[in-house]
Amino acid sequence: MLQAFVNIFRIPDLRNRVLFTLGMLVIYRIGFWIPLVGVDQTQLADAAAKASENATGFGRIVQFASIFSGGSLQQSTIFGLGIMPYITAGIIFQLLGQVLPALQELKKEGAGGQQKLAEWTRYATVGLCIFQGWMWLSYLRTQNLVQPQFEQGSALVFFYISGFCALTAGSLFLMWLGEQIDKYGIGNGISIILTAGILSRMPDALMWLAQNFDPRQSSDAEGKVGLVGLLLLLAGFLAVTAGAILITVAQRRIPIQQAKHTVGRRVYGGQKLYLPLRLNHAGVMPIIFASSFMVFPSAFFGWLASSAQAGGAEPGLLGKTAIFLAAAFDMGAYPYVILEIALIYFFSYFWTTVQFSPDEMSKQLRDHGSMIPGIRPGPFTSEYLERIMERITYVGAGFLAVIAIIPTLVTQQLGIPFNVSQFLGGTGLLIVVSVGLDVVQRIEANLLMRNYGGFLSGSSEANGPRIRSARA
List the single range of 7-21, 42-56, 255-269, 377-391 with lowest mean pLDDT. Answer: 42-56
> Is pLDDT of 464 > 60?
no
> Is pLDDT of 245 > 70?
yes
| Residue pair 7/453 in contact by the 8 Å Cβ criterion | yes
pLDDT digits (tens, 9 = 90+) for 228-241: 778 888 888 888 88
Instruction: Give residue 46's pLDDT.
Output: 73
Give domain status of residue 92, yes or no.
no
Instruction: Give residue 342's pLDDT.
Output: 92
Residue 264, domain extent: 226-424
Instruction: Give residue 462's pLDDT.
Output: 42
Q: What is the DSSP string of 387-428?
A: HHHHHHHHHHHHHHHHHHHHHHHHHHHH---HHHHGGGSHHH
Q: In angstroms, rounded to a whole number, what is the distance separating the alpha carbons of residues 361 and 185?
A: 33
Give domain status of residue 419, yes or no.
yes
What are the percentages of helix, strand and coil residues in the chain, rounded to 5? Answer: 70, 5, 25
How would residue 471 be classed by pLDDT, with cut points 50, 70 and 90? Answer: very low
How would residue 460 be classed by pLDDT, with cut points 50, 70 and 90? Answer: very low
Q: How many domains would you assign to the chain?
A: 1
Give domain status of residue 379, yes or no.
yes
Report the share of the chain in percent with pLDDT over 90. Answer: 8
Instruction: Give residue 459's pLDDT.
Output: 43
- Give the contacts of 423 (CB within 8 A, at least 6 positions apart): 202, 205, 237, 407, 429
> Is pLDDT of 360 > 80?
yes
The closest of 282, 283, 278 to 253, measured between CA atoms, is: 278
Residue type, 434: S
**Which one has a higher pLDDT value, 171 or 228?**
171
Give domain status of residue 234, yes or no.
yes
Q: In whole numbers, what is the pLDDT of the chain averaged over residues?
A: 79
Instruction: Give residue 20's pLDDT.
Output: 93
pLDDT digits (tens, 9 = 90+) for 52-96: 555 444 555 555 666 655 555 556 788 888 888 888 888 888 888
pLDDT digits (tens, 9 = 90+) for 282-306: 888 888 788 777 777 777 777 777 7
Helix H, strand E, coil C: the string for 68-134 is HHCCHHHHCECCCCCCHHHHHHHHHHHHHCCCCHHHHHHHCCCHHHHHHHHHHHHHHHHHHHHHHHH
Q: Is the pTM of this model over 0.85?
A: no
- Give the contacts of 124 (CB within 8 A, at least 6 positions apart): 89, 92, 93
Instruction: Give residue 23's pLDDT.
Output: 92
pLDDT digits (tens, 9 = 90+) for 314-358: 767 777 787 788 788 777 778 888 888 999 999 899 888 888 888
Instruction: Give residue 310's pLDDT.
Output: 66
253, burial (CB in 10 Å: exposed 0-12, middle 13-18, buried 19+): exposed
| Residue pair 175/83 in contact by the 8 Å Cβ criterion | yes
List the single range of 123-132, 354-363, 411-420, 437-446 with lowest mean pLDDT. Answer: 411-420
Q: In angstroms, rounded to a whole number, what is the distance separating the alpha carbons of residues 57 and 306?
A: 9
CATH code (residue 407): 1.10.3370.10
Give domain status of residue 267, yes or no.
yes
Best mean pLDDT range from 42-51, 153-162, 286-295, 384-393: 384-393
Give domain status of residue 55, yes or no.
no
285, containing H or E segment: helix 285-310
Give domain status of residue 297, yes or no.
yes
Q: What are the beta bridge partners of residue 371?
A: 257
Give domain status of residue 189, yes or no.
no
